[in-house]
Structure 1
Amino acid sequence: MDQPSTTPRARRRLWFDLTALAVIGVLLLAALGAGIAVLYKEFYGPSAFVTRYIDLLATGHAADALRMPGVSIDRETLADAGIDETASEALLRQAALAPLTDVAVVSEKTSERGVTSVTVEYVAGTHPGTSTFQVEQDGWAGITPNWRFAQSPLAAVALTVLGADRFAVNGFEVDRNQVSAAGADAAGEDPLPLLVFTPGLYSVTVDTAISRAAGVSFLADSPLTQTPVELQTEPTDKFVAVVQEQVEEFLGECTTQRVLQPTACPFGLEVQNRIVAPPVWSIAAQPSVTVEPSGAHWMIPPTDAVAHIEVDIQSLYDGSVEHVSEDVPFRIDGSITILPDGSASIRVGYPDGA
């Protein structure tokens, strides 16, 4: 006996079931594709590569960040970017890093030549910033791509610290003579090139026995650029007191010379007659010394002082003797050079040519 033919109602149900299965399959494929896209972006794409680099900086892993492909830089690349080839790597370490928070990728755009520009927002210390990094594919690891920086994320600062050879960057102590390519011959007025990570906030401060500076901060947010930064220090009270002491000692030595015109000293007395006995000098009013910046070193601006002389003078005309007790006003100035060992060389002068 023949089987009954499929009814129109059964055919419609079968069609509905097959359509539903097809829709579910398409949705599953779409969800799978979306999931793969998310995984790729989060873990395997160029944005993930840049985020991993910044996370290393944020957690203080400077050495690991340096080892990421494309971060290290050669002298030729530095020169092509207009950065001093002798730039020191002293700040490429954990101790010189500042906090990075609120990191977020805001855009990702790939050029025709295969280089992807990844733009990231963040907060460095308390300063919001935005940086763009160039990334390119660097082969494969199985079925996932490897990446490298097409342009190194390092930057540089040309730092000039006037009045100090020792300073701190984010609390990390730096000695100019140890990190400069010129070594002990490094001049304080010459900019000191230092490589830094991008992104990064760097605060330069000075707190030595000679000088202090509240500091200056700069945000390194553009890879392969060099930022000029200058910091002028101010003399400490202790330093000024030492200079005052040295000046008074110098003037005291001048008073030991029993002559009318002490050699290499800022005061003297001219007379037309004969002195009966060597004169006696003293300082009636010491100069009130101040210290001001002078390029990479320091200067003593012109300052008033008073010497006093006691001397007996005999007249060439009639032989009479007159006792002279006289104040002799004078002025001093001076230059102060900071030596490589950190000591100060003070040279006292006399602007009036005494």
Structure 2
Amino acid sequence: MRRELVTWSLVLGLIIAAFATTVIVLNSTIYSSSGFVRSYLGALARHDMSAALEIADIYLPEEHGAASDDGSGATPIDTTGAGTLLLAGSHELLRPSALSSLDDIAVVDSVTNADGTETVTFMFELDGRSAQSTFTVTRAGANFGVFAEWDFVTPPLTIVRLTVANAQEFDANGSEFVAPSQDVPSPYVVLTPSSFDITHKSTFLKADPIVVSATEPGGTVRARLDVVANEAMIAQVQREVNDSLDECATQVVLLPTGCPFGQPMANRIVTTPEWSIAEYPPVSLSPGSQPASWEMPATDGAAHLRVDVRSIFDGSVSTFDQNVGFSSSYLVTFLADDKLLITAQYPR
């Protein structure tokens, strides 16, 4: 009996020792501060938005829910520590399809602070570009009384203040969005780390892509997307301006009505005035004073006039055969179905 008791005592001791060793190993790996942050980053890498929000203890109220790809929204639970930051901006970019690629995740530093919190730094490939983020976490109790639980001291969120100049629509990582207004910084809440390739491409407008990276929790990133008229828009306005001037040139008067050119004369005309366009004003477009409008500034062109005239002094007849310079400007606005309204602005 004593021998069996000793044997069972040794077995129990080994089990307890093995369990204690397991607890120590797990608390230094999976349940460590770096393991906690790694699990969050892993959810981002998988584009598992729900898991990332849950790990980070971020819950959105229903009316401010993160945009899901099926339009269903996010968990309708308010947040405590993170709520104020979340409500400081739009959650439109909190969409799985807009998440970045996150690869080669590796911890590079872990420091225990004087207040008991721990600061962990990770490096990774964010959309193919090397980057790093630093997170501070704190103990939040223990699972089953033995496995460490952690919380982020600063929620892993960044505010992106994006200005879309001269338009409201933009693409971020291939998903389409509409800013609340153009030319005004709009705040968007994004998970940290995130990277967004932002651009604009439509029938008549374009923008050089910009890259917006958010790698510091609690920080603010400012970005501006400049939308300009594209080649198709300039070409169409040029065609319509040319057509309008050609139409003006069909008028057989010295001062064509509603046209930017004309030639007053003191002498009497003998033949019918013949107009042609010698030089069309080259079209360039800049943003107008009103949203969704574009302006062609006053630009020089030249018309050609040929007409015989009789001098009122001596009755001699001569031919006026030369270019007549003019300047014209236009206002361009968008209509439905990708059409343009081009309005002449030259004084007459």
**Range into which the TM-score falls when normalised by the shorter chain:** 0.7 to 0.9
> Of residues 126, 131, 136 in structure 2, which corresponds to 1:134?
136
Normalised to the residue count of structure 2, the TM-score between the two structures is: 0.73
> Of residues 323, 328, 337 in structure 2, which corresponds to 1:327?
323
What is the Cα deviation at residue 55 of structure 1? 0.8
Identity of aligned residues (%): 33
Which range is displaced more, 287-296 or 328-337?
287-296
> Of residues 304, 307, 321 in structure 1, which corresponds to 2:303?
307
Whole-angstrom distance in 2 between the partners of 1:206 and 1:326? 46
Secondary structure (helix, strand or coil) at the match of 1:207 reads coil
Which range is displaced more, 52-61 or 231-240?
231-240
Q: Which runs of 5+ in 1 are unaligned?
A: 1-21, 181-185
Q: Which has the larger radius of gyration?
A: 1
**Is the contact between residue 98 and residue 200 of structure 1 (CA under 8 Å) also seen in structure 2?**
yes
**Is the contact between residue 107 and residue 120 of structure 1 (CA under 8 Å) also seen in structure 2?**
yes
Whole-angstrom distance in 1 between the partners of 2:108 and 2:59? 25
**Is the contact between residue 197 and residue 209 of structure 2 (CA under 8 Å) also seen in structure 1?**
yes
Whole-angstrom distance in 2 between the partners of 1:250 and 1:157? 45
> Of residues 156, 160, 178 in structure 2, which corresponds to 1:175?
178
1:102 maps to 104
What is the Cα deviation at residue 128 of structure 1? 1.7
**Is the contact between residue 82 and residue 155 of structure 2 (CA under 8 Å) also seen in structure 1?**
no
What is the Cα deviation at residue 342 of structure 1? 6.0
Change (3 A) 1:225 1:253: farther
Q: How does 1:237-256 map to 2 (within 5 A)?
A: 237-255=231-249
1:68 maps to 55
Change (3 A) 1:280 1:218: same
What is the root-mean-square deviation of aligned Cα atoms in Å?
4.2
User: Can you list the C-alpha shifts for 1:196-229, whole angstroms capped at 9, x where unaligned?
Assistant: 2211221113332223344221321011222112
Whole-angstrom distance in 2 between the partners of 1:160 and 1:294? 17
**Is the contact between residue 163 and residue 211 of structure 1 (CA under 8 Å) also seen in structure 2?**
no
What is the Cα deviation at residue 54 of structure 1? 1.0
User: Can you list the C-alpha shifts for 1:233-276, whole angstroms capped at 9, x where unaligned?
Assistant: 45433222111112123323434555533455321212224557
**Is the contact between residue 43 and residue 52 of structure 2 (CA under 8 Å) also seen in structure 1?**
yes
**Is the contact between residue 91 and residue 196 of structure 1 (CA under 8 Å) also seen in structure 2?**
yes
Whole-angstrom distance in 2 between the partners of 1:254 and 1:72? 65
2:30 maps to 43
2:43 maps to 56
Q: How does 1:110-259 map to 2 (within 5 A)?
A: 110-111=112-113, 113-143=115-145, 144-176=147-179, 180=180, 186-187=181-182, 189-233=183-227, 235-255=229-249, 259=253
**Is the contact between residue 133 and residue 216 of structure 2 (CA under 8 Å) also seen in structure 1?**
yes
Whole-angstrom distance in 2 between the partners of 1:31 and 1:338? 73
**Is the contact between residue 71 and residue 153 of structure 1 (CA under 8 Å) also seen in structure 2?**
no
Whole-angstrom distance in 2 between the partners of 1:77 and 1:252? 67
1:282 maps to 276
Normalised to the residue count of structure 1, the TM-score between the two structures is: 0.72
Change (3 A) 1:78 1:271: farther
Change (3 A) 1:65 1:300: same
Change (3 A) 1:277 1:115: farther
Secondary structure (helix, strand or coil) at the match of 1:329 reads strand
Change (3 A) 1:198 1:287: same
Whole-angstrom distance in 1 between the partners of 2:139 and 2:54? 17
Paired AA for residue 62 in structure 1: M
Which range is displaced more, 237-246 or 45-54?
45-54
**Is the contact between residue 206 and residue 229 of structure 2 (CA under 8 Å) also seen in structure 1?**
yes
> Of residues 259, 262, 265 in structure 1, which corresponds to 2:259?
265
Whole-angstrom distance in 2 between the partners of 1:43 and 1:109? 17
User: Can you list the C-alpha shifts for 1:3-31, whole angstroms capped at 9, x where unaligned?
Assistant: xxxxxxxxxxxxxxxxxxx9xx9999887
What is the Cα deviation at residue 307 of structure 1? 1.5
**Is the contact between residue 138 and residue 148 of structure 1 (CA under 8 Å) also seen in structure 2?**
yes
**Is the contact between residue 105 and residue 124 of structure 2 (CA under 8 Å) also seen in structure 1?**
yes
Whole-angstrom distance in 2 between the partners of 1:134 and 1:71? 16
Whole-angstrom distance in 2 between the partners of 1:240 and 1:306? 20
**Is the contact between residue 106 and residue 122 of structure 2 (CA under 8 Å) also seen in structure 1?**
yes
Paired AA for residue 166 in structure 1: E
Whole-angstrom distance in 2 between the partners of 1:99 and 1:312? 74
Number of aligned pairs?
Answer: 321
Whole-angstrom distance in 1 between the partners of 2:337 and 2:219? 33
Q: Which runs of 5+ in 2 are unaligned?
A: 1-9, 65-79
